[in-house]
Amino acid sequence: MDLTANLSGQQKTIVGLTVATALIHIVLGVLAGGTFLIMFLLNGLGYLVLMAALYFLPQFAAQRSLIRWVLLAFTAVTFILYFVFNWPDIWSPIGIVDKLIELALIVLLWQDK
């Protein structure tokens, strides 16, 4: 069963970017441990749950527009908090890659209908 068969190319890209940023947060949480473990795991799981609700759980079909906006806001808050928590040391390579992923995700979610 191909879960992505009914998704547009843009929506498949949204799924890929969402999974990528979720995995980055989960891996960073596991590597960091402590309080960061909980925060990063919840962030990664939040991405995955919202993405699943947006495209793969038919019981949420009527709320897809709202879920898309929630995922966009979730991504924007995560993007901003990176700079708040890491200022002025914001140039971590994995952090910058993840912010580029999130920025692309925000743009694509904004464009998605």
In the chain, domain spans: 9-111
pLDDT band, very low/low/confident/very high, at 73 (cuts 50, 70, 90): very high
Cα-to-chain-centroid distance, residue 103: 10
**pLDDT higher than threshold 90 for residue 2:** no
Contact 85/62 with Cβ under 8 angstroms? no
pLDDT band, very low/low/confident/very high, at 35 (cuts 50, 70, 90): confident
18 sits in which H/E element: helix 9-32
Determine the pLDDT at residue 34. Answer: 87
**pLDDT higher than threshold 70 for residue 46:** yes
Handedness of CA 51, 54, 56, 58 (dihedral sign): positive
CA distance 113 to 95: 29
Contact 69/77 with Cβ under 8 angstroms? no
Question: What pTM did the predictor assign?
Answer: 0.93
